[in-house]
Structure 1
Amino acid sequence: MNKKIFILIVGLMSISLVGIISIQIYWIKDAIKNKQQQFDNNVKIALARTSEKIKDREYSEFIQNTQEFFENNEYRTDAEINTYLFQQIDTTNKKKFSFGGTILAENFKIPGDFVNNDSIIIKRYTGKEDIYFSQVIKSKNSDFKSYIDENHLSTFKLYSDWNKQQLEHMFRQSKRIYPIDQRISNNELNFTIREELVKMNIIQGFKYGVYEDDLATQLKSGYFNIHPNDVNYPLLADDNGNSKYKLYIKFPDEHKNLLSGMVKILGLSLLFIGIIIAAFSASLYQLVRQKKISEIKTDFINNMTHEFKTPIATINLALDAIKNPKIISDEEKVKRYVKMIREENKRMHGQVENVLRISRLEKNQIEISKDATDMHDTIEEAIEHIQLLVDDKKGKVTSHFKAISTEVLGNQFHLTNIIVNILENAIKYSENSPKIDVYTESTNKYFIFKIKDEGIGMGRNAQKYVFDKFYREHKGNIHNVKGHGLGLAYVKEIIESHQGTVYVESEKGKGSLFTVKLPLI
């Protein structure tokens, strides 16, 4: 896949993922905000009903207590009677209307809880109204008009609006001298708030406090301090909604209960967000993995082509030489060229066998028989295999055997091969004369050996993939060091088949340290 196309696909997928997650988060925040707003509105409605309920109770008690003064003439000081009469003639319909009535104004001196035991005067207005409907009859021969009564209505009523205004004014003035805690009890306020909250389907615990001009009063539920976000409502407000008292309320577990009511929706949203992230991560991982595999396979094919090209060319040259009449008659030269062909053929066969062997290992098609194996002997045998290569480069392998227990349950052939592979890597990736140290140690459960070199080392990224099949770190020319990236993959497969572990520590320019841990018998 083209690198630009790959970056474009990853970029578009990332933007889409961020967009989807952002929308989900916005929706969740908006849902929580709406739920919070709805909750606050319901609380305000409950507080408004609480305030009205207490106000109505207080006013009803006042009216009930005041009513006896109007029913007892003892408190009436004087009375005044006024009459009135109005007339109107409708010439179109030939009707005459007469309005008449009597108004009784009574003064009541009502004692109150005022300074110096002052009293107040309340006027009560009652009256009788008479309404007459008359028909106007006009004579044909004169302008004389006569009136005939058709109907008469008489009513007696209390002028309640005026009295109500006086009583409300008296109520407001009389209550001004009382502290709020003498007008309302904590029990009443707590019970009323709870009752109104239940009507709004709010059953969680709450705390409240009443403040007068931002100063705390005795009406509160335990320790209470106001916060700018606390819901509040005027208490005992007048007809214009003005009041010096404010009822504040807060819910200690508000957010917990708010989220608990949305737990299913939030859970599903978070689940879907998790699925989207997991699907995106898996897709991105597969894309990167496939791209990496594609690059590794391309490198492998190039390496294999390069590795096979040399022995094939050598075999062709040897065959051409044998065909030469001068060479074919020389038995020694023919044997030398035949040996060269056999060695090159063996070399190609070994490379093919490496590929097939790692494939069979991954598919568990190779049965590895295990016996008691002395690891010190196995390591020494592996060192002997690569000693000529080390000597050719004027290098040195130093052993530091400190392990007390050395027997493991393993296959000596494969264990020897993995040690040889690690040692060969140490030789191949040493720019100067290779200096290799082999350390061994043992614990109660494990035999541990370490192979340290002073080669070119590798970066952190290479350390992550060094045990992957076909992986090889290179700079520019992939053929600067021969190999197919199968040796360390084979090492890992064999170690894991022996229930062991292998890992590498390395730093560029300072060499590498391979550590293998195998369980003891």
Structure 2
Amino acid sequence: MSRNTIRLVIILGVIAISGIIAIQIYWVKKAFDLKDQQFRQSTMVALRNVANQISKSYKLAKIENPVSQYSSDYYVVNLRVPLQQSLLEHLLKEEFKKNNINTDFEYGIYDCETDKIVFGAHINSDYEVEEVDQTIILPTTDKFLNYFGVKFPNQKSYLTSKLDFWIVSSIITMVVMAFFAYAMFIILKQKRLSEVQRDFINNMTHEFQTPISTIKIATDVLAQSKILEQPERFKKYVQIIKQENNRLKNQVESVLATARIGKGQIELDMKLQELHEIIGEVSDSVKAELEDNFTLDLNATKTTINADRMHLMNVIRNLIDNAIKYSGKPPKIKISTRNENNLLIVSISDKGIGIPREALPKIFNKFYRVPTGNLHNVKGFGLGLNYVKEIINLHKWKINVISEMGVGSVFEINIPLPD
């Protein structure tokens, strides 16, 4: 599947998901509004019946519109005459049962002497009086002389509970969208893995082709009968074959080591090590090659650490090789050490091309190589820094990278000192 096809699928998927979400929200809102309207109508009918029963008991004429909605969950009802709390509570319960209003409500009766509504009670959904922790204050109004107020504190949750179908459909919609998002994630992941695999095979082919070609040329020369008459030349080509063979061996071992790390098959041989001694051993060959362009600045005084000697040497060697690869000609490499708090910090810096800011979070990913265009001017599989990161994680150390384009890069390893 091409990149453009995947991009088109993602765009269409996002549009489809957005449309489904918008439609679902619209219909859920419409359903909620409908339930709210039905609840409001049922409440108005029940409260009007309560008012008419009170009017009838006092032989008063009916009122056409005795109920006024003060807010979305609060209603006031024209009473016209003083009324006992117990009678009002009884009438409210009866009418709410008839109209299937099964949610908590609070009521109060207006007292003209105090100009306040005297709180009656909090009635739960089972129509039983329930104690409340705080004093309930119901709003007053100037619309009626004698009236009572009814408030539904849990109205929104009550209406929401009535949307069973829409809640289920919303859950199904969310599951479908989650499945689609997961499918897109898998497609993108497979696409990335495919690209990584292709790049790795291309790099591996290139890296193996060079030493194989060199060995072939050297063996062709050694196959000539006259070569035995030139011992120096014979020795030179034997040495070339040996070097290229070691190069192939190291490349194969790096791939196998990464595979073992991925499977969790590497076990560290942790022992007390002298870091400066290991740095000196690793850097001997580099100093001979780079001469004055390689600097050691070993200022740490506490240098004994717990580490696996072989893997620690490989980590330092990989970081040095990486610094050389991405440096100019000639490369300028510096290794320094220092103590900070209870840490031994190893710093490997170069004056190379630097790493782009957007590439920094990816440089420790397996097979990742900082893009250099179509030129294959940097050798390797993209495994070195991944190996470094994995070994540092196994040691429970930390590594930090500071880089600036055109200035160079600094890799710092923070190693806790043993107690």
Indicate the TM-score class for this superposition, using the shorter chain for normalisation: 0.7 to 0.9
Please say if 1:286 is aligned against 2:186.
yes
Per the alignment, residue 250 of structure 1 pairs with: 151
Distance across 2 between alignment mates of 1:250 and 1:478: 76
Per the alignment, residue 506 of structure 1 pairs with: 403
Q: Which amino acid aligns with 2:232?
A: E
Please say if 1:408 is aligned against 2:408.
no
Distance across 2 between alignment mates of 1:395 and 1:269: 69
- 1:452-491 CA distance string (max 9 Å, x none): 3343222343222211221101132241211110101111
1:489 to 372, 379, 386: 386
After superposition, the Cα gap between the structure-2 partners of 1:325 and 1:468, relative to the gap in structure 1 and judged at 3 Å, is: same
2:278 to 348, 370, 378: 378
Q: Which amino acid aligns with 2:139?
A: F
Q: 1:315-326 residue pairs with structure 2 within 5 A?
A: 315-326=215-226
Per the alignment, residue 347 of structure 1 pairs with: 247
After superposition, the Cα gap between the structure-2 partners of 1:368 and 1:298, relative to the gap in structure 1 and judged at 3 Å, is: same
Q: Which amino acid aligns with 1:402?
A: A
1:469 to 361, 366, 372: 366
| Structure ranking higher on relative contact order (CA contacts 8 Å, 6+ apart) | 2
After superposition, the Cα gap between the structure-2 partners of 1:505 and 1:29, relative to the gap in structure 1 and judged at 3 Å, is: farther
| Largest Rg, 1 or 2 | 1
Q: CA deviation at 1:47?
A: 1.2
After superposition, the Cα gap between the structure-2 partners of 1:196 and 1:296, relative to the gap in structure 1 and judged at 3 Å, is: same
Contact 1:474–1:480 (CA under 8 A) maintained in structure 2: no
Q: Which amino acid aligns with 2:83?
A: S
Structure 1 portions without partners, runs of 5+: 63-167, 172-179, 211-215, 227-233, 236-243
Contact 2:337–2:344 (CA under 8 A) maintained in structure 1: no
- 1:342-396 CA distance string (max 9 Å, x none): 21122122212211121122223344322122233323333334323433xx523
Please say if 1:306 is aligned against 2:206.
yes
After superposition, the Cα gap between the structure-2 partners of 1:440 and 1:197, relative to the gap in structure 1 and judged at 3 Å, is: farther
- 1:65-117 CA distance string (max 9 Å, x none): xxxxxxxxxxxxxxxxxxxxxxxxxxxxxxxxxxxxxxxxxxxxxxxxxxxxx
Please say if 1:40 is aligned against 2:40.
yes
Distance across 1 between alignment mates of 2:174 and 2:398: 33
After superposition, the Cα gap between the structure-2 partners of 1:253 and 1:402, relative to the gap in structure 1 and judged at 3 Å, is: farther
Aligned residues, how many? Answer: 382
Structure 2 portions without partners, runs of 5+: 64-77, 120-136
After superposition, the Cα gap between the structure-2 partners of 1:334 and 1:57, relative to the gap in structure 1 and judged at 3 Å, is: same
Per the alignment, residue 350 of structure 2 pairs with: 453
Q: CA deviation at 1:3?
A: 1.2
Please say if 1:224 is aligned against 2:139.
yes
Per the alignment, residue 97 of structure 1 pairs with: none
Distance across 2 between alignment mates of 1:277 and 1:450: 47
Identity over aligned pairs, percent = 34
Contact 2:350–2:409 (CA under 8 A) maintained in structure 1: yes
Q: 1:67-466 residue pairs with structure 2 within 5 A?
A: 183-185=81-83, 187=85, 188-189=87-88, 191-199=90-98, 200-207=100-107, 221=119, 222-224=137-139, 249-259=150-160, 261=161, 272=172, 275-276=175-176, 278-391=178-291, 395-402=293-300, 404=302, 406-431=303-328, 433-444=331-342, 447-466=344-363
Contact 2:215–2:240 (CA under 8 A) maintained in structure 1: yes
After superposition, the Cα gap between the structure-2 partners of 1:10 and 1:503, relative to the gap in structure 1 and judged at 3 Å, is: farther
After superposition, the Cα gap between the structure-2 partners of 1:198 and 1:470, relative to the gap in structure 1 and judged at 3 Å, is: same
Q: CA deviation at 1:16?
A: 3.3
After superposition, the Cα gap between the structure-2 partners of 1:293 and 1:181, relative to the gap in structure 1 and judged at 3 Å, is: closer
Distance across 2 between alignment mates of 1:395 and 1:420: 16
Does the residue aligned with 1:452 lie in a helix, a strand or coil?
Answer: strand
Distance across 1 between alignment mates of 2:306 and 2:171: 47
Does the residue aligned with 2:105 lie in a helix, a strand or coil?
Answer: coil
After superposition, the Cα gap between the structure-2 partners of 1:324 and 1:264, relative to the gap in structure 1 and judged at 3 Å, is: same
Q: CA deviation at 1:203?
A: 3.9
Distance across 1 between alignment mates of 2:344 and 2:163: 53
Distance across 2 between alignment mates of 1:485 and 1:335: 34
Contact 2:103–2:158 (CA under 8 A) maintained in structure 1: no
Q: CA deviation at 1:220?
A: 6.8
Does the residue aligned with 2:58 lie in a helix, a strand or coil?
Answer: helix
After superposition, the Cα gap between the structure-2 partners of 1:369 and 1:218, relative to the gap in structure 1 and judged at 3 Å, is: closer
Q: Which amino acid aligns with 1:434?
A: K
Does the residue aligned with 1:298 lie in a helix, a strand or coil?
Answer: helix
After superposition, the Cα gap between the structure-2 partners of 1:266 and 1:488, relative to the gap in structure 1 and judged at 3 Å, is: farther
Distance across 2 between alignment mates of 1:460 and 1:209: 70
Contact 1:303–1:478 (CA under 8 A) maintained in structure 2: no
Distance across 1 between alignment mates of 2:285 and 2:164: 67
After superposition, the Cα gap between the structure-2 partners of 1:268 and 1:519, relative to the gap in structure 1 and judged at 3 Å, is: farther
After superposition, the Cα gap between the structure-2 partners of 1:416 and 1:253, relative to the gap in structure 1 and judged at 3 Å, is: same
After superposition, the Cα gap between the structure-2 partners of 1:203 and 1:12, relative to the gap in structure 1 and judged at 3 Å, is: closer
Per the alignment, residue 53 of structure 1 pairs with: 53
Q: CA deviation at 1:417?
A: 0.7
After superposition, the Cα gap between the structure-2 partners of 1:196 and 1:363, relative to the gap in structure 1 and judged at 3 Å, is: same
* Structure 2 length-normalised TM: 0.77
Q: Which amino acid aligns with 1:5?
A: T
After superposition, the Cα gap between the structure-2 partners of 1:359 and 1:198, relative to the gap in structure 1 and judged at 3 Å, is: same
After superposition, the Cα gap between the structure-2 partners of 1:368 and 1:399, relative to the gap in structure 1 and judged at 3 Å, is: same
After superposition, the Cα gap between the structure-2 partners of 1:193 and 1:303, relative to the gap in structure 1 and judged at 3 Å, is: same
